[in-house]
Amino acid sequence: MLFPPIYNRKLLDDLRIPLILRYIYYSSAGVYLKSDQLPHFEIDVVDPKSRHKGKLETESLLESRGVNWTSIRPVYIYGPLNYNPVEEWFFHRLKAGRPIPVPNLGIQITQLGHVKDLATAFIKVLGNEKASKEVFNISGEKYVTFDGLAKACAKVIL
């Protein structure tokens, strides 16, 4: 379940922090400052004005409360039961015969990761002391342009 920062603060107020073995936080790779150098790495500068600034606030809150935390920052996740199914947007437009507007002439690159790989990442940090107070970006190994993503979706539909 995803909570805005105020709810995370309330949740931490209600929890007995000494009893928390590890708080695994579902963050986002959207917290990074925009850059022409991709992919983003965990040490890259974050953007406090990002639309995901609440996730940064929660990460800071976990640290300031002395919680043993791990933050997982996925890029774009695809697959079943995804709470933010980005790929579906492409498929819906294609099925409806509508154009697919892509930003920056479609050359903007990104990465995708399957939901099963994201679940594996969560499992791997459980009980792993090396993951304590660490951030992990999660994505697939390959890059794709938004134009390439649109074309791949079109191949499936057409």
The predicted pLDDT at position 13 comes to 74
Q: Is the dihedral of CA 124, 126, 130, 135 positive or negative?
A: positive
CATH class of 5-157: alpha beta
Distance, in Å, from the CA atom of 60 to the CA atom of 18, rounded to the nearest integer, reads: 18
The predicted pLDDT at position 30 comes to 94
Distance, in Å, from the CA atom of 48 to the CA atom of 56, rounded to the nearest integer, reads: 7
The predicted pLDDT at position 81 comes to 85
Hunting for tokens 């134009």 — which residue is that? Answer: 147
Is 1's pLDDT higher than 80?
no
Distance, in Å, from the CA atom of 150 to the CA atom of 112, rounded to the nearest integer, reads: 13
Distance, in Å, from the CA atom of 51 to the CA atom of 4, rounded to the nearest integer, reads: 12
Per-residue pLDDT, averaged over 43-49, amounts to 96
Is 89's pLDDT higher than 50?
yes
Least confident of 6-15, 48-57, 93-102: 6-15
